[in-house]
Amino acid sequence: MGAFFRPARIVIAQFLCRRFLVLLSVAVLSGAGCGQDSGSSGGQVLLATGFFDQTTLTTTSYTADTGQTVSLSSTVSIPNAGSDGGFIGLENVQGSVPILTTAAYLNYSISGSSFLVPSDVFPFSLNVPASGGASSTEVFAQLQLVSAARMDFLRENSGALPPVPFAMTVSVTVEGQSPAGDTFYSNSIAYNVTFTE
């Protein structure tokens, strides 16, 4: 009778061992630096606060950028060279460790369409200082949200796109690293583009 139960004990032991390894792997991955924190920011260390227009009168200031309406046939990139829009606001809620951004990951979706626009990466380097107890350490960087190559792709595939005017949403997530090499990701934020003609 004991010989009958021995294989079952081995199978159960192997199952429990595998289950333990899976749980251990999940615990290790969830503890890796993914931009999470237990502070009042909802767990996020690198915060994307929105998109902004840069205005320069006597001093530089930033106002909310609600998106752009552009020509599909003639726009080179978004924002165009010399534009004052497309500035992302970033904050670092850590008390003493700065974050240096490495890239913005860009995903595109077109309203009412199953047409897929390939995602893109915009490399950029911006020092996001630690909060150090300050109320705000917000810094700004202008991102190329739709590159010239992506605009060419849209024009080349215009037959598969909805008729103009149509909307496209750019979802942006920023990656950054601490001096110790920990990697952080911001929350995802959206930028809206409306295409005409």
pLDDT at 59: 75
Q: Which CATH architecture has domain 34-196?
A: Distorted Sandwich (2.70)
Q: Is the peptide bond before 79 cis (omega within 30 degrees of 0)?
A: yes
* CA atoms of 183 and 174, how far apart (whole Å): 11
* CA atoms of 4 and 9, how far apart (whole Å): 10
Helices and strands (DSSP H and E) totals, the chain: 2, 11
Tell me the per-residue pLDDT of 38-82, one tens digit each, with 9 for 90 and over.
344 556 899 999 999 998 766 789 999 999 999 999 999 999 888
Flag the least confident range among 42-46, 108-112, 171-175, 183-187.
Answer: 42-46
Residues 6+ apart with CB under 8 A from 117: 108, 109, 110, 150, 153, 154, 168
Give domain limits for the chain: 1-31, 34-196
Tell me the per-residue pLDDT of 98-140, one tens digit each, with 9 for 90 and over.
999 999 999 999 988 878 999 999 999 999 999 887 667 899 9
